[in-house]
Chains A and B, each alone.
Chain A
């Protein structure tokens, strides 16, 4: 069975600083996708970034980037120049290419300190 683990229930970072959220996952398959979703206080689930497992290059979306270590089954999210609007719950997620459902970690709540 596939699992996603986020070991940091909560984190805080100073505004304009950089923060890294950790995620590890477990799967015996080689073809899959990884995602980071953001859930602000509005409760809306927003896709932040995604990574195809077959791609070695780490995905980047503006201030958000990932460090994908396939052998270690690690998929961390780096947020640069943190802004107050980044305060949210962040979920790491895994989807097999042969499957449709996405498996989510339990989330990391990120606080931005002004």
Chain B
């Protein structure tokens, strides 16, 4: 157990629907990162929150949004889902803002759009 908890582990839904993925960071970590892992695209950075505030944005679609709550858990909302959104979505957390400590990853949410 890495200390980063992601729920649900698997999610199957239809095109056009909306889903929410949840992440609880490791105790004491203020930063939460969301990544999308598709078969042919590797790990793509979506967005980062630090202590409730958006800090960095990657190639996140407008149909996707995220937030970090006062208790530091984060949610990634995906709407108007398309077949191409099928992927593994990772959350990671980090305790430092700058520097070389790598992330601690959750086990991911496998999203399948049918």
Contact = CB atoms under 8 A, between A and B. Distances in A.
A16 to B, nearest CB: 28
Contacts of B33: 100-102
A103 interface: yes
A47 B107 contact: no
B35 to A, nearest CB: 8
A31 B88 CA distance: 31
B42 A104 contact: yes
Interface stretch (B19-27, B63-71, B72-80, B89-97): B89-97
A102 B94 CA distance: 11
Contact of B90 (A45, A47, A95, A101): A45
A103 B105 contact: no
A101 B101 CA distance: 11
Interface of A: 33, 35, 37, 42-47, 50, 52, 91, 93, 95, 97-107
Interface of B: 2, 31, 33, 35, 41-43, 45, 48, 50, 55-56, 58, 88, 90, 92, 94, 97-105, 107-108, 110
